[in-house]
Chain A
Amino acid sequence: MLDEAARLLTPTTPEEVLEIVAEAAAATRRIEVIGGGTKRGVGRVERPDVALSLAGLDAVVDYAPEELVLTARPGARLKDLEKLVGSEGQMLAFEPPKLAKLLGSKGEPTLGGALAANLSGPRRIRAGAARDHLLGFAGVSGRAESFKAGGKVVKNVTGYDLAKLMAGSWGTLAVMTEVTIKVLPKPKTEASLLIFGLEDRRAVQAMAAAMNAPVDVSGAAHLPTAIAARAPLKAEMAVTALRIEGFERSVAARVDSLTGALRPFGRVERLDAKLSRGFWGQVREVEVFHKEPRPLWRVSVPPASGWRVGEALAHEVLYDWAGGLIWAPAEDAQAVRSAARAAGGHATLWRGETRGPAFDPLEGPLAALSARVKAAFDPHGVLNPGRLGN
């Protein structure tokens, strides 16, 4: 899948990144942009001439805990950043999944990679996505221009919010050379509530009931029977889980009120902080599918419709985001795509081979507009050509 012939360049300054892109743009060469390289298999970069790794641009530029802001180079490793902000009692609130094991990579996931993929963990339902935490950036566009947008403060509306465009653009618009993100205080503790044996549809209703209660649920996942039986959980029944985080007394009070709200759905069991952390770690890293041989899809749908996707795929799926995010193994690309569309969403192939593009193609005026936005930044298709299917 990867073009092994592509040469690997590892610049260590933004100026070197500019030079590399400038040369490529002048010669209409094709650059594959990578961070830690863990997600190289997602989407297909067509015949890259060179791989530009940002692993050498990994410094933390500025970290001001009291301002809730961190500025770093995109190659900074998530592992190191989490340790750094953790030492100040803070966190990357969008809870970026690493997914290196899932994707069979030995690379180290980077901040730039998580942002470029707009990759967010279970807490996304409460704290927002990666895109909500990217405040500003500097980068080099496919036109070989160094530019910046956004700012280094948590509240800013000066000019277009190009940071949002970068998040989830998979390196197809610009190579980021510096990013500023919002960081937040880490919860003092957490707990989870579990309900067993729910059918998918009922589980989605239970998760909606929890989300609709004023208890700030920060994780809502469901593992149908066949999936819950797998490692690492090895449970005998379907498991539906809700997470509560915060200050001790607040967590206790909210666990009580959530237990009440969930009573109509069955007996509720409680996981303490340690077990809760372990549980959500495996949900975030999609551990139930680490050994799954079939192609693996990531499906995004309106949460209340999530169960329809599971139903179409024999309930062999993992639900996160209260049903809004579904990880699904399936050989039949068409079956996944049509299930996702029927539920009002879209599917992306994250692991394995299939016919057709990894990313769901856009249609109509939205596709045309997106193509014009791509051309605004990268008119000659220098950066990650074909990765999003464009």
Chain B
Amino acid sequence: MKMPAPDIAILAKKAEIVRALKKLVPGDAVIAEDSALVPYESDGLSAYRQTPLAVVLPETTQQVSAVLAWCQAHGVKVVPRGAGTSLSGGALPLTDGIILGLAKFNRILEVDYENRCAVVQPGVTNLAITGAVQADGFYYAPDPSSQIACTIGGNVAENSGGVHCLKYGLTTNNLLGCEIVLMDGEIVRIGGRGYDAAGYDLLGVVAGSEGLLGVVTEVTVRLLPTPQAARALLLGFPSVEAAGATVADIIAAGIIPAGLEMMDKPAIVAAEAFVAAGYPVAAEALLIVELDGPEAECAELAGHVKALAQARGADFIRVSRDEAERLRFWAGRKAAFPAVGRIAPDYYCMDGTIPRRQLPQVLTRIYEMAADYGLGVANVFHAGDGNLHPLILYDADQAGQLERAEAFGADILKLCVAVGGVLTGEHGVGVEKRDLMGEMFDETDLACQQRVKCAFDPDGLLNPGKVFPVLHRCAELGRVHVHRGKVAFPELPRF
């Protein structure tokens, strides 16, 4: 993966830049010694590493504003960072840019039950929001698997999902407002506590913008009352097709489960060996179906789902009898990544979405490609919304394996797009899928997106090198369009 060539002039001015930044934030909030920069070299996509010029850890919106304004004035690039758990390299540093870490923005500012929302700082972890309100019977719905560590600011940047997003939506569907600081230091408040904000839905475009539009300094999230009950079913099938058909039947029956997960045989075996969750290791595919709501609803729908699974030939059926058992059913799925990490020295997690009906063909093709590349693969799948996570197994210490894993991953994502899906369902484009954007979008599509970037950050200093395969100067984008100058529909009435 190639990152933009660093600006030599900026590298040469490191000491001067660090001195200037130390005047904008408390002195110890600027980290510049090489040894202290090591923890910031990469994010959750640890195959890629770069040392940043410096790390700045501001504490207030005004400090963020001052740092950004200074960087803009001096042409210094900025990479915002929450907890650094991105799986797509969204927070990968630039050698000629600073990391702007939001870790000190760690307070829950207000909980407003009357409007069912919480106002929080971006460095608050996803799980801490629920932690602050659960005693009162509320929770924050999006639950990315890194929720113990990942921050809400990062969730906004990545539009994070989780296992419950088929029913409860992604981050973008659970936001009411935010405060962002633009690259020029301007502080903008978007949305509020009401349902419909005035003007363009800028909140909607900031969510999932991967830190390229602005630095989020405050977030207002929607809170939901905790469902009365939840129940999970474990369903083992002799074929992927039967499991896929059961998923379609559940949806067709009008049931939107809170969670609907699928694992293939390699993933089942790895998870069972790791946590002994009671998974059927002989099954070709496993479904975990979670139902939530009033007890009466859970009981009725669990019976219904069970019958649908039986009709499709499920030969292993368990319904959780209590909370401990429900959590045990999930333990294997939640530990799937580390479990796979035990059967291979390294793994590479992909994140495409496909139309669900394509699942059997796509999995067959993935297994064929695995054989061609000589690498193992295990698949976990948010089956309800078609979000596939193939885990490619490799050994970075063996020459050429990382490159083969990357090529295999790229082929999987191209396949996802080819069958009508998309490159990324929840992990983001980052640097990882940047060069694949052309598979989904043509030049005009990308120019339209980059012009939005220009509206927020005309000098392109905020997180450059991510998302877009080609960096354009904003002035160039204005000239991309050249109309062909032909009247193609002479029969149409004219002005």
B122-165 interface code vs A (CB 8 A; 1 in, 0 out): 00000000000000011000000000000000000011010001
User: Are the C-beta atoms of A155 and B493 separated by less than 8 Å?
Assistant: no
User: Are the C-beta atoms of A132 and B448 separated by less than 8 Å?
Assistant: no
Which one of B6-14, B39-47, B249-257 contacts A? Answer: B249-257
Alpha-carbon gap, A360 to B192, bound state (A): 15
Shortest C-beta distance, A123 to chain B (Å), equals 12
Given contacts A155-B382, A157-B424, A253-B295, is CB(A373)–CB(B202) below 8 Å?
A: yes
Interface size band for A: 35 or more
Chain B residue at minimum C-beta to C-beta distance from A348: B198
User: Are the C-beta atoms of B256 and A149 separated by less than 8 Å?
Assistant: no
B221-242 interface code vs A (CB 8 A; 1 in, 0 out): 0000111100000000000000
Q: Does A158 contact B (CB under 8 A)?
A: yes
Contact with A149, one of B196, B426, B449, B494 (Cβ below 8 angstroms): B449
Contact with B426, one of A145, A157, A250, A257 (Cβ below 8 angstroms): A157
Chain A residue at minimum C-beta to C-beta distance from B207: A161
Q: Which of B425-466 contact A (CB under 8 A)?
A: 425-429, 433, 437, 440-442, 444-449, 451-456
User: Are the C-beta atoms of A147 and B201 separated by less than 8 Å?
Assistant: no
User: Are the C-beta atoms of B296 and A132 separated by less than 8 Å?
Assistant: no
Q: Does B392 contact A (CB under 8 A)?
A: no
Alpha-carbon gap, A389 to B408, bound state (A): 51
Given contacts A124-B195, A214-B228, A215-B294, is CB(A157)–CB(B159) below 8 Å?
A: yes
Contact with A153, one of B422, B441, B483 (Cβ below 8 angstroms): B422
Shortest C-beta distance, A299 to chain B (Å), equals 9
User: Are the C-beta atoms of B115 and A304 separated by less than 8 Å?
Assistant: yes
B427 contact set on A, CB distance < 8 A: 157
B63 contact set on A, CB distance < 8 A: none
Given contacts A151-B421, A162-B205, is CB(A373)–CB(B200) below 8 Å?
A: yes
User: Are the C-beta atoms of B437 and A159 separated by less than 8 Å?
Assistant: yes
User: Are the C-beta atoms of A165 and B204 separated by less than 8 Å?
Assistant: yes
Interface size band for B: 35 or more
Q: Which of B156-182 contact A (CB under 8 A)?
A: 158-159, 161, 165-166, 169-170, 172-173, 182
Shortest C-beta distance, A157 to chain B (Å), equals 5
A249 contact set on B, CB distance < 8 A: 296-297, 300
Q: Does A47 contact B (CB under 8 A)?
A: no
Q: Is the interface of A mostly helix, strand, loop or mixed?
A: mixed
Alpha-carbon gap, A365 to B65, bound state (A): 13
Chain A residue at minimum C-beta to C-beta distance from B478: A379
User: Are the C-beta atoms of B297 and A253 separated by less than 8 Å?
Assistant: yes
A128 contact set on B, CB distance < 8 A: 169, 173
Chain A residue at minimum C-beta to C-beta distance from B449: A160
A1 contact set on B, CB distance < 8 A: none
A173 contact set on B, CB distance < 8 A: 200
User: Are the C-beta atoms of A153 and B355 separated by less than 8 Å?
Assistant: yes
Chain B residue at minimum C-beta to C-beta distance from A160: B449
User: Are the C-beta atoms of B444 and A147 separated by less than 8 Å?
Assistant: yes
Shortest C-beta distance, A348 to chain B (Å), equals 8
Most buried by A among B197, B295, B480: B197
Alpha-carbon gap, A313 to B179, bound state (A): 31
Q: Does A212 contact B (CB under 8 A)?
A: yes
A169-206 interface code vs B (CB 8 A; 1 in, 0 out): 10001000000000011111000000000000000000
User: Are the C-beta atoms of A346 and B386 separated by less than 8 Å?
Assistant: no
User: Are the C-beta atoms of B386 and A67 separated by less than 8 Å?
Assistant: yes
Contact with A164, one of B204, B357, B421, B425 (Cβ below 8 angstroms): B204
Count A/B pairs, Cβ under 8 Å: 300
Shortest C-beta distance, A170 to chain B (Å), equals 10
User: Are the C-beta atoms of A144 and B483 separated by less than 8 Å?
Assistant: yes
Alpha-carbon gap, A368 to B425, bound state (A): 32
Q: Does A324 contact B (CB under 8 A)?
A: yes
Q: Does A44 contact B (CB under 8 A)?
A: no
A365-387 interface code vs B (CB 8 A; 1 in, 0 out): 11111101111110100000000
Q: Does B284 contact A (CB under 8 A)?
A: no
Q: Which of A206-232 contact B (CB under 8 A)?
A: 208, 211-216
User: Are the C-beta atoms of A131 and B204 separated by less than 8 Å?
Assistant: yes
Alpha-carbon gap, A154 to B256, bound state (A): 13
User: Are the C-beta atoms of B385 and A155 separated by less than 8 Å?
Assistant: yes
Chain B residue at minimum C-beta to C-beta distance from A150: B422
Q: Does A97 contact B (CB under 8 A)?
A: no
Q: Which of B248-286 contact A (CB under 8 A)?
A: 248, 251-256
Q: Which of B460-482 contact A (CB under 8 A)?
A: 467, 478, 480-481
Alpha-carbon gap, A20 to B488, bound state (A): 10
Alpha-carbon gap, A257 to B172, bound state (A): 30
Q: Does A303 contact B (CB under 8 A)?
A: yes
User: Are the C-beta atoms of A16 and B200 separated by less than 8 Å?
Assistant: no
User: Are the C-beta atoms of A369 and B116 separated by less than 8 Å?
Assistant: no
A15 contact set on B, CB distance < 8 A: 488-489
Q: Does B199 contact A (CB under 8 A)?
A: yes
Shortest C-beta distance, B183 to chain A (Å), equals 12
Alpha-carbon gap, A360 to B423, bound state (A): 38
Shortest C-beta distance, A71 to chain B (Å), equals 10
Given contacts A155-B386, A155-B425, A369-B456, is CB(A118)–CB(B199) below 8 Å?
A: no
Most buried by A among B169, B226, B442: B169
Which one of A23-31, A74-82, A104-112 contacts B? Answer: A23-31
Alpha-carbon gap, A372 to B205, bound state (A): 14
A143 contact set on B, CB distance < 8 A: 481
B442 contact set on A, CB distance < 8 A: 147
Q: Does B353 contact A (CB under 8 A)?
A: yes
Shortest C-beta distance, A77 to chain B (Å), equals 23
User: Are the C-beta atoms of A186 and B254 separated by less than 8 Å?
Assistant: yes
Q: Does B293 contact A (CB under 8 A)?
A: yes
Contact with B199, one of A132, A152, A362 (Cβ below 8 angstroms): A362
Alpha-carbon gap, A11 to B423, bound state (A): 33
Alpha-carbon gap, A230 to B203, bound state (A): 38
Alpha-carbon gap, A129 to B300, bound state (A): 29
Q: Does A327 contact B (CB under 8 A)?
A: no
Chain A residue at minimum C-beta to C-beta distance from B451: A376
Most buried by B among A141, A149, A367: A149
User: Are the C-beta atoms of B188 and A369 separated by less than 8 Å?
Assistant: yes
Alpha-carbon gap, A49 to B495, bound state (A): 8
User: Are the C-beta atoms of B467 and A253 separated by less than 8 Å?
Assistant: no
Q: Does A22 contact B (CB under 8 A)?
A: yes
Q: Does A302 contact B (CB under 8 A)?
A: yes
Contact with A346, one of B198, B423, B487 (Cβ below 8 angstroms): B198
B327-360 interface code vs A (CB 8 A; 1 in, 0 out): 0000000000000000000000000011111000
User: Are the C-beta atoms of A19 and B489 separated by less than 8 Å?
Assistant: yes
Given contacts A152-B420, A157-B158, A366-B189, is CB(A253)–CB(B455) below 8 Å?
A: no
User: Are the C-beta atoms of A213 and B190 separated by less than 8 Å?
Assistant: no
Alpha-carbon gap, A68 to B256, bound state (A): 10
A7 contact set on B, CB distance < 8 A: 493, 495
Shortest C-beta distance, A215 to chain B (Å), equals 7
Shortest C-beta distance, A52 to chain B (Å), equals 11
Most buried by A among B194, B426, B488: B194
Q: Does B208 contact A (CB under 8 A)?
A: yes
Shortest C-beta distance, A290 to chain B (Å), equals 22
A276 contact set on B, CB distance < 8 A: none
Alpha-carbon gap, A187 to B297, bound state (A): 13
A214 contact set on B, CB distance < 8 A: 137, 225-228, 294
Q: Does A92 contact B (CB under 8 A)?
A: no
Alpha-carbon gap, A26 to B481, bound state (A): 12
User: Are the C-beta atoms of B420 and A153 separated by less than 8 Å?
Assistant: yes
User: Are the C-beta atoms of B116 and A151 separated by less than 8 Å?
Assistant: no
Given contacts A66-B251, A67-B356, is CB(A165)–CB(B449) below 8 Å?
A: no
Chain A to chain B: the 6 pairs with minimum beta-carbon distance, closest first: A164-B204, A250-B297, A185-B254, A304-B114, A302-B193, A372-B455
Extra pairs beyond A157-B426, A376-B455 (20, CB < 8 Å): A89-B252, A147-B442, A154-B386, A155-B425, A157-B425, A159-B445, A160-B449, A163-B204, A164-B203, A167-B204, A214-B227, A215-B225, A247-B254, A254-B294, A302-B115, A362-B198, A365-B188, A369-B186, A370-B202, A375-B455
Q: Could you list 5 examples of A-B contacts with CB < 8 Å?
A: A161-B204, A164-B203, A208-B116, A212-B137, A303-B114
